[in-house]
Structure 1
Amino acid sequence: MPEWLPIALFGVVFGMLLFGFPVAFTLGGVSLIFGYFTFGLGFFQLLPLRIWGTMSNYVLIAVPLFVYMGLMLEKSGLAEELLETMALLFGRLRGGLAISVIVVGAVLAASTGIVGATVVTMGLLSLPTMLKRGYSPEMATGTICAAGTLGQIIPPSIVLVLLGSIMNISIGDMFVGAVIPGLILVGLYMFYIVLVAVFRGKSAPAMPAEELALFKGKVMVKRVIRAFLLPFFLILAVLGSIFAGIASPTEAAAVGALGATLLTLWQKKFSLRTLHEVMKGTTLLTCMVFVLLVGATAFGLVFRGLNGDRYITHLILDSNMGPHMFLFIVMLVIFIAGFFIDFIEITFIIVPVVAPIFQHLGVDLLWIGILIAVNLQTSFLTPPFGFSLFYLKGVAPPEVTTGHIYRGIIPFIVIQLIGLLIIVLIPESVTWLPRVMGGP
């Protein structure tokens, strides 16, 4: 088997992606062509078995359930109530409104895990308010985009489910391992906002005192309890059941889907139209993920059949490249790829290739999985194809330009890379909590 064949396969796929061909059909179509000319008709007998094995994976049922939960929560109006309450709670501080957006983004991430829904919701609700209160467009848009992407790393997150499935890691361990890195990012975002408030106070002013006058005493306590209680119960039901070992991630996702529906009923926002919209959105997103998964399965089968994984492993070992240098190269490739292609595409194309090599090098796959998840989070912010930027631009007032959004997200991309470096230097930030809770 010529050694250049797996490189040619990889090169053709990436080349077609850069020319704008659909990812799912590029992965599947190119793999079918290479598979036929390399292995003959026997390839078409093996491929359906591999696809069936992937599609019958019980863990992947969590994907549509978590998507449904996120979309249903978006309709419930809880995000609006959370944002209003947090804005009043932190409004006395310079930068308090931005801090409240970060806190709400973290809470919504732990409740939904859907980045698009979070960014759109907070863009509609908080961006006009922040601009009205004197926040610079760059500060306001950057904060909202960064807060919205927390759904990538804070569990329950769809990308953690997909990474765990591809890398053969327990989804529960992925969720537990992502908690501390997620909190690190939240802390770094808040620290940056405080610095901006101290040194450039005009970019992040406090709210006027007259607006905060009525928000005190019993009124404040009641609003805070009401705003936080319902999301807290949902987070406890989903993540608590997983962390306590009561339910598997798939079972917890079903509990979350039911809980989100009940919360929407409680908020009196449930209707047949709402249910239809949520189910339609869930079907579209789920189909996109699983069609990509079929294409990625075909690609992985051909790549391994061509001994591509062995070739790359031998290439790295023969070059005396250590695990840390290989990790640096993989992280750099994923970061650069995030400028051009979606996180799901990166997950299905790159991760199946590099995961066996990390395993061969004796690197902790749980740690690698969380590092990849944090790195993939930057793909939502990096222009020109950062999805959070498009989501926010779609709902932003006319005076907010694309340039404002691009300039606003640069500090937060740097912060994410700092967070990634912290996790690289302190692997215990990922591995400690799963070990304490009885994981590997």
Structure 2
Amino acid sequence: MSYDLIAITMFASMMLMLLTGQRVFGAIGFVAVVSALSLYGVGGSDMAFSAAMKVMKWYPLLTLPLFVYMGYMLSESGIADDLYRMFHVWFGGMPGGLAIGTIMLMVAVSAMNGLSVAGMAIGASIALPELLRRGYDKIMVTGVIQAGSSLGILVPPSVVLVLYGMIARAPVGQLWMAGVFPGLLMASLFVIYIWVRCRLQGHMGPPLSAEERAEITWGEKLRLLQAGIWPLLIFFFMTGLFLMGVTSLVESSAVGALAATLAAIFKRRLSFYVLHETLRKTLTITCMFMWIIMAALCFGAVFDGLGASRALEGFFTGDLGLGPWEILILMQLSYLIMGTFLDDTAMLVIVAPLYVPLVGALGFDLVWYGVLYTITCQIAYMTPPFGYNLFLMRAMAPPEVTLADIYRSIIPFVAVMVLGLALVMIFPEIALWLPENYYKN
């Protein structure tokens, strides 16, 4: 059997295992270990051990539990609730104002967490009940929360961009800065869509009544602005110090975790329950990431050892005769398909070792491609039948929100995200202007 055929068999076997509903790390790891033992005999078992040791010695991975801890500390301590109240008061008077405030809340949460899971949990537990109680259309608001939470993997400090930077050997600082404008662009497109939709169809997002607005004094509005101070301080101490070169990547994540804890202490909300829930959820998410990364590293070692990267490049450029942009679009489409049944980390550690060398060989900027990959993951998270966010929303939504409602809710937001992806592909400066100008000085 040729090496190309072995590589295809491995990849097909892994996809088949994943479609059976097995845990991601189990499916990937099983195919990797069986392939290693079949190809290299008893010595192949060293590949799994080597992958485990590589994870244990991968120093930048320390950022993962610290960023996750920071996000859950802010959520469990109620600081995110304060933020939502602020947006509720300031934007509730306009059509769709509470939904627009929810998007802004998600941007703030993304800038303090770096994962979509935390944003989804905060949106479903804080924003969704309030939006439904205020008479907002249930289909629209479930789409708002899913779309807003997806910003967590694009806006810095994105954990996905950190992992991409490790695999692509791209500087994390440049990747974070490259995600700023695309993230704000995506959030702005969401806001414009919500405002236009609710302006044309007032029943979709009714504003606060005149009586409710009259009850909110300017003094209360100004007082509630204080809720935004803590997130800004945490973001500055974490991301700002890193970009200024004062702290390293790992140190900045530690600073962010410490700042979130101090904020909870200062607001007198750090109880034993809050600390216990934060640590429990942090451990759960971190272990999930670690197992997937370890299994994927083992799979990648065997897969790449067969020359799969070179074979893929030859297949696209030689056998099919495709141009660089055609190959790039095909790669993005493959991510969309895989995103229906894989999470972003699994897609990254499985396919990025194959695609990243090809992207470099085609002459594309790896920092720019990191942003494209992340936006594509956002879209894949929300595409049926097995989009990751769809099932998270179903698990967290009240009974009156059915799975059919959730599927229908994402259609316009996916269209908006495809528009955002197209804009970043057509105008790479949206992603590259900030890192190029910042690091030039």
- Structure-2 change in CA distance of 1:393 and 1:32 (3 Å): closer
Distance 2:391 2:81 in 1: 21
Deviations 1:234-284 (CA, angstroms, capped at 9, x unpaired) = 111111112222222211100011111111112222122322222222122
Residue in structure 1 matched with residue 38 of structure 2 by the alignment? 37
Contact 2:69 2:279 in 1 (8 A): yes
Residue in structure 2 matched with residue 149 of structure 1 by the alignment? 150
How far 1:439 sits from its partner (Å)?
A: 6.1
- Structure-2 change in CA distance of 1:50 and 1:394 (3 Å): closer
Residue in structure 2 matched with residue 399 of structure 1 by the alignment? 400
Q: How do 1:37-436 and structure 2 match up within 5 A?
A: 37-45=38-46, 47-224=48-225, 226-318=226-318, 319-436=320-437
Distance 1:389 1:11 in 2: 25
How far 1:82 sits from its partner (Å)?
A: 1.0
Contact 2:108 2:231 in 1 (8 A): yes
Contact 1:60 1:165 in 2 (8 A): no
Deviations 1:337-394 (CA, angstroms, capped at 9, x unpaired) = 1112222211121111111111122211111111001111123322333333333333
Report the AA paired with residue 41 of structure 1.
V
Distance 2:78 2:328 in 1: 42
Contact 1:172 1:248 in 2 (8 A): no
- Structure-2 change in CA distance of 1:50 and 1:401 (3 Å): closer
How far 1:116 sits from its partner (Å)?
A: 2.2
Name whichever of 71-80 and 115-124 sits farther off: 115-124
Report the AA paired with residue 375 of structure 2.
V
Deviations 1:117-147 (CA, angstroms, capped at 9, x unpaired) = 2222222222222223221111121112211
SS in 2 for 1:362: coil
How far 1:287 sits from its partner (Å)?
A: 1.2
How far 1:190 sits from its partner (Å)?
A: 0.7
SS in 2 for 1:350: helix
How far 1:50 sits from its partner (Å)?
A: 4.7
Distance 1:289 1:138 in 2: 31
Pairwise CA RMSD of aligned residues? Answer: 1.7
Deviations 1:52-102 (CA, angstroms, capped at 9, x unpaired) = 234312211111111111111111211111111111101121111111111
Deviations 1:163-185 (CA, angstroms, capped at 9, x unpaired) = 11111111111111100110010
Distance 2:395 2:38 in 1: 45
How far 1:46 sits from its partner (Å)?
A: 5.2
Distance 2:135 2:24 in 1: 42
Distance 2:398 2:85 in 1: 19
Report the AA paired with residue 283 of structure 1.
L
Deviations 1:212-240 (CA, angstroms, capped at 9, x unpaired) = 1132322211211x111111101111111
**Contiguous gaps of at least 5 residues in structure 1:** none
Distance 2:182 2:423 in 1: 9
Name whichever of 411-420 and 30-39 sits farther off: 30-39
Distance 1:357 1:45 in 2: 28
How far 1:402 sits from its partner (Å)?
A: 2.0
Distance 2:46 2:200 in 1: 65
TM-score of the two chains, using structure 1 as the length reference? 0.96
SS in 2 for 1:383: coil
- Structure-2 change in CA distance of 1:66 and 1:325 (3 Å): same
Distance 1:344 1:219 in 2: 42
Distance 2:291 2:202 in 1: 48
Report the AA paired with residue 314 of structure 1.
G
Distance 1:92 1:273 in 2: 36
Distance 1:381 1:316 in 2: 28
TM-score of the two chains, using structure 2 as the length reference? 0.95
Alignment coverage as a number of residue pairs: 439
- Structure-2 change in CA distance of 1:439 and 1:19 (3 Å): farther
Deviations 1:187-220 (CA, angstroms, capped at 9, x unpaired) = 1001101110221122111111111113232221
Contact 1:71 1:114 in 2 (8 A): no
Report the AA paired with residue 309 of structure 1.
S
Name whichever of 263-272 and 412-421 sits farther off: 263-272
Distance 1:363 1:384 in 2: 32
**Contiguous gaps of at least 5 residues in structure 2:** none
- Structure-2 change in CA distance of 1:393 and 1:51 (3 Å): closer
SS in 2 for 1:70: helix
Contact 1:75 1:264 in 2 (8 A): no
SS in 2 for 1:438: helix
Distance 2:339 2:141 in 1: 23
Contact 1:25 1:295 in 2 (8 A): yes
- Structure-2 change in CA distance of 1:179 and 1:349 (3 Å): same
Report the AA paired with residue 416 of structure 1.
M
How far 1:291 sits from its partner (Å)?
A: 1.0
Name whichever of 28-37 and 327-336 sits farther off: 28-37
SS in 1 for 2:45: helix
Give the fraction of aligned pairs with identical amino acids, expressed as a percent: 34
